[in-house]
Structure 1
Amino acid sequence: MHLIFIRHGDPDYSIDSVTEKGKREIELLGKRISKLNATEFFVSPMGRAQATAKACLENIHADFSKQPMKVSTMPWLREFSYDIKDFKTGKNRIAWDWLPRDYFGEKKYKDVQKFFQTKSMKSGNIEFHYKEVCRGLDEILASYDYNRIDSKIPLYNCFPHISKEESLIDTHIDPEQKDLDEKNLVFVCHLGVMFVMLSHLTGISPVQLWQGFFVAPSSVTIVGAEERVPGEVVFRIQQMGDVSHLIGANEKVSASGFFGNCLSI
């Protein structure tokens, strides 16, 4: 199984949609995604994500040989823009983009089980919102027979796709691997909530992801299921923030969400 996370196109936050540049981006993205054998789409209710999903689906549905795509709008896939209190400034803010010294000065931010226990995170009930997203993702995975073993351990049970004998063979250096589960679930959403889901799947604090990683508008992040023990799966990032559909068309990569310019090669 693969989980494909797509950030919406270059945003115009004033109208909750995409800019003219964003329209070009999602048109290119749609052509790319149409080549993917997607199983199901899950989409944020916000306008910029809906516009991005629409561009992808129009390209998929242009191929009349394909069955209509199943699409679900999930309220919890909205941007993770819940207000918290910044006790240094006395103002409200979002839960990420801390100044470097403020981020590195709080040890709990690096702990996936403790980051929401800080005074600022508690002020915005971030634990509730984080767990709401994690629960929503796990419910989707469970519907495909991937059941989380423990809320604190990113390990999932599933119907075995490999035998015990196959599990004893080390194949990790082989350039071609057996596709154990061909399902591809697509999530069209936002940087903030995407990193919450990646946090849940990898056991890394979302604050570390918010602070240390960036994915550009219309980018594609691919997470693959690894089954080395029959019936036990972990998820591992294969591609993160890929924008090859933009680079190949000479469309400049948007830096929206990054404090500086984006270099793309």
Structure 2
Amino acid sequence: MVINMRILFVRHGEPDYVHDSLTPKGFREAELLADRLEKLEIKDFYCSPLGRARATAEPTLKRFHKEAKVYDWFGEFPGYIIEKETNRKRIPWDLYPADWTCRPAFYRNEEWYKDPIMTTGDVEKVYTYVTENMDLFLEQYGYHRDGNMYTCEESNSDTIVIFCHLGVQLAILSHILGIPTPLLWQGFYVAPTSVTTLISEERIKGKVYFRCQAVGDTSHLYVAQEPVSTAGFFQEIYGAPKWPDTKGF
């Protein structure tokens, strides 16, 4: 019997970014994910508006005979920075280690988005939009932000699933757990269709913190002998051959 609230964040399957859909492997992953999720008692489903997330959710939703509520802020994190070398917009993660590890602000909450790298774009604005909406979202389940934790009047044991993306998922986790976002963006990888689980802990009546039970779990792929996709992951050895088109390790 589950007595904690569980929030399951699912990254979309292996992406076909050109068509905002999934690769053939990604569609296989989505079916295997559905095999896993259909064993759970899930109250609500939520989804990014992007095609690759919707395609990932579809097999699960069909088995539950449910629809997912779509929110724009569950879409891929759209904040950008300006790359100094090219003067072009780029995502605010996947920076070279030498370019960010020397910046003290990146290791501090409430400061990282004020670093000169981040202020070249709109990262703070987008981060605030996403995290404020996440707090409003949690209020419908009875959790109200109070400093760096949450309060509630009644306990909640719902399980919900959010089909989304790597960048926004890690941004939300950073807010809920109080970890500077760059440390998650730069230091964590969640594979396609991986499941990240947050559980509520109410050890004192009305005082709640969310604990991360698992990050990027791909056990549903393992049991089916489906390789884990490397989409969004860099090769570990400089100069080694690039990952093949059919990703996986």
**Normalising to structure 1: TM-score of the pair?**
0.85
Aligned partner (choices 64, 72, 90) of residue 60 of structure 1: 64
For the pair 1:36 / 2:40, whether they are aligned, the reply is: yes
The 8 Å contact of residues 33 and 60 in structure 1, kept in 2 or not, is answered as no
Counterpart position of 1:143? 140
The 8 Å contact of residues 84 and 124 in structure 1, kept in 2 or not, is answered as yes
For the pair 1:46 / 2:38, whether they are aligned, the reply is: no
Deviation of the 1:197 alpha carbon: 0.7
Cα 1:263–1:251 shift into 2, 3 Å: closer
For 1:235 and 1:134, the matched residues in 2 are separated by 15
Deviation of the 1:88 alpha carbon: 4.7
Secondary structure class of the residue paired with 1:14:
helix
Aligned partner (choices 154, 159, 166) of residue 153 of structure 2: 159
Secondary structure class of the residue paired with 2:231:
coil
Deviation of the 1:121 alpha carbon: 1.4
Task: Tell me which amino acid in the other structure corresponds to 2:37.
Answer: I
For 1:190 and 1:44, the matched residues in 2 are separated by 8
Q: How many residues align?
A: 235
Counterpart position of 2:16? 12
The 8 Å contact of residues 30 and 56 in structure 1, kept in 2 or not, is answered as yes
For 1:91 and 1:135, the matched residues in 2 are separated by 28
RMSD, matched Cα: 1.6
Counterpart position of 2:240? none
Deviation of the 1:160 alpha carbon: 4.6
Percent identity of equivalent pairs: 41
Counterpart position of 2:239? none
CA-to-partner distance for each residue in 1:213-237, whole Å, 9 max, x for gaps? 1010000010000111110100110
Listed as ranges, the matches of 1:169-208 within 5 Å are: 181-208=156-183
Secondary structure class of the residue paired with 1:119:
coil
The 8 Å contact of residues 39 and 70 in structure 1, kept in 2 or not, is answered as no
The 8 Å contact of residues 61 and 67 in structure 2, kept in 1 or not, is answered as no
For 1:90 and 1:126, the matched residues in 2 are separated by 16
Deviation of the 1:112 alpha carbon: 2.0
CA-to-partner distance for each residue in 1:14-73, whole Å, 9 max, x for gaps? 000000000000000011111111111111000000111112111222xxxxxxx35210
Counterpart position of 2:197? 222
Counterpart position of 1:124? 121
For the pair 1:104 / 2:98, whether they are aligned, the reply is: no
CA-to-partner distance for each residue in 1:80-120, whole Å, 9 max, x for gaps? 14321122553321100010111101111111211110222
Task: Tell me which amino acid in the other structure corresponds to 1:124.
Answer: G
For 1:50 and 1:142, the matched residues in 2 are separated by 25
The 8 Å contact of residues 145 and 158 in structure 1, kept in 2 or not, is answered as yes
For 1:113 and 1:42, the matched residues in 2 are separated by 28
Counterpart position of 2:211? 236
For 1:10 and 1:251, the matched residues in 2 are separated by 12
**Greater Cα offset, 18-27 or 79-88:** 79-88
The 8 Å contact of residues 145 and 159 in structure 1, kept in 2 or not, is answered as yes
For 2:37 and 2:226, the matched residues in 1 are separated by 17
Task: Tell me which amino acid in the other structure corresponds to 1:25.
Answer: E
Secondary structure class of the residue paired with 1:141:
helix
Gaps of 5+ in 1: 62-68, 162-180
For the pair 1:2 / 2:3, whether they are aligned, the reply is: no
The 8 Å contact of residues 194 and 218 in structure 2, kept in 1 or not, is answered as yes
